[in-house]
Amino acid sequence: MKSSDGMRPDPSPDGDPWADIRDGVRKLCARFPGSYWQVLDRDRMYPEAFVAALTEAGYLACLIPEKYGGAGLPVAAAVAVLEEIHRSGGNGAACHAQMYMMGALLRHGSEAQKQRYLPDVAAGKLRLQAFGVTEPNAGSDTLGLQTRADRDGDSYVINGQKIWTSRAEHSDLMLLLARTAPADSVAKRTDGLSLFLVDMAEALQAGLTIRPIRTMLNHATTEVFFKDLRIPSTARIGEDGKGFRYILDGMNAERILVAAECIGDARFFIDRAVAYAGERVVFGRPIGQNQGVQFPIARAYAETEAADLMVQRAARRFDSALSCGPESNMAKLLAADASWHAAECCLQTHGGFGFAEEYDIERKFRETRLYQVAPVSTNLILGYIGQHVLGLPRSY
């Protein structure tokens, strides 16, 4: 969808500039009800039809500038898209990375790379949604990663392993962070890592192996192995050794958008809890009349509204090109807590029925638990706030 098709801000009576987008996403999601997600969840299948519908409607290209075929909208618009997907009971994790991963290419790629890839990504012909950062031996300590990309003439030769590389089987390109200089040879710990755009189809013929990991939620995540994979030096984004800085730039966008998904999840749980608490009659009255049932829902609502304010603030600062590290991290922290607390109270409100697949509560419960750990764990955000915002001693 182009901006002329209604994705531009159109102030609604309640002042939400993205009311039209929200309405469009809600209508699209209504075609993919709980029964659709339940089948996929049971069989751990990828939501092809849903992703195709979102792509066709242009939502996944909303952040790509118009000159490369996207809608050129701010992150605040993508927040509205992902929040509505999650509020509807769906899940954007199958494709959300398609929205923000192109940011590294946009900000740090050459004009030739942008011309080559961005229009096809915007048109949905190329999927750029596999992000190879986490490694089994490094975990949250990204600078400890060991996968190597050794320069050899006009190529780099890649050896190593990544874990939790989500959507690798459903992506045409992978953004890969690899070591191009030994850790003990660089002046700063953040130097010596480089960013590459790997063509997955070619790589699968030349040294890349993908192994799916079955998890407690349907997330299409994998581990990937590189054995003497040779890629052209033109696959590098930006300068050699500066890759870590390039991915840091994009992490704020990722955190804001994941926070938006959490807000959507929280609102899904609160909607469901309120509806059920009003209609379920036990001991001759609706269970929602009991303060023991009502108050946790009210608290979850208050927490969600407060977290949403931080998400909006972080998005505003990002879109105004202001520093937004603290706000993006706090948005992710508060929204993930709000969604988890709302999940807990919604499950409890439903009693035994909360555990039945057909209610979608147990599935969403499992799905929203992820955000305490990925894409960055709660402790790591608290450590960031302690050190970088409050000036406390470094803890990691």
Write out the residues near ligand FAD by the rule CB under 6 A. 131, 133-134, 139-140, 164-166, 215, 219, 221, 370, 373-377, 379-380, 383, 395-396
Q: How far apart are CA 260 and CA 83, in angstroms?
A: 5
Q: What angle do CA 332, 338, 342 make, to 5 degrees?
A: 145
Query: Which residue lies nearer to ligand FAD by CB, 73 or 376?
Result: 376
HSE-up of 311 (CA within 13 Å, CB side)?
A: 32
Q: How many CB atoms lie within 10 A of CB 70?
A: 25
Q: How far is the CB of 197 from ligand FAD (least distance, A)?
A: 15
Q: CB of 7: closest distance to ligand FAD in angstroms?
A: 27
Can you tell me the distance from the alpha carbon of 334 to that of 350, in angstroms, rounded to the nearest whole number? 24
Q: In degrees rounded to 5, what are phi and psi of residue 171? A: -135, 140
What is the nearest approach in angstroms of ligand FAD to the Cβ of residue 374? 4
166 versus 180: smaller Cβ distance to ligand FAD = 166
Minimum distance between the CB of residue 213 and ligand FAD, rounded to whole angstroms? 8
CA distance from start to end of the chain:
43
- The answer to whether 237 and 246 are in contact (CB under 8 A) is yes
Q: Are 391 and 369 in contact (CB under 8 A)?
A: no
Taking the CA atoms of the chain, what radius of gyration do you get in angstroms? Answer: 21
Query: What is the distance between the alpha carbons of residues 330 and 317, in angstroms, rounded to a whole number?
Result: 13
We find the least distance from the C-beta atom of residue 162 to ligand FAD, in angstroms, to be 7
- Which residue's Cβ has the minimum distance to ligand FAD? 139
Q: In terms of CB distance, is 215 or 348 closer to ligand FAD?
A: 215
In the complex, what is the shortest distance from the CB of residue 227 to ligand FAD, in angstroms, rounded to a whole number?
19
* Nearest distance, CB of residue 132 and ligand FAD, angstroms: 6
Taking the least distance from each CB to ligand FAD, the nearer of 78 and 258 is: 258
Residue pair 163/204 in contact by the 8 Å Cβ criterion:
no
Task: Name residues whose C-beta falls within 8 Å of residue 175's C-beta, 6 or more positions apart in sequence.
Answer: 101, 104, 105, 128, 130, 131, 132, 195, 196, 197, 198, 237, 247
173/270 with CB nearer ligand FAD: 173
Residue 298 CA to residue 293 CA, distance in Å, equals 9
Give the span between the Cα atoms of 353 and 173, in whole angstroms.
Answer: 42
User: Rounded to the nearest whole angstrom, what is the least distance from the CB of residue 375 to ligand FAD in the complex?
Assistant: 5
Using the minimum distance from each CB to ligand FAD, give the nearer residue, 261 or 308: 261
Q: Which is nearer to ligand FAD, 137 or 323 (CB)?
A: 137
**Closer to ligand FAD by Cβ: residue 135 or 191:** 135
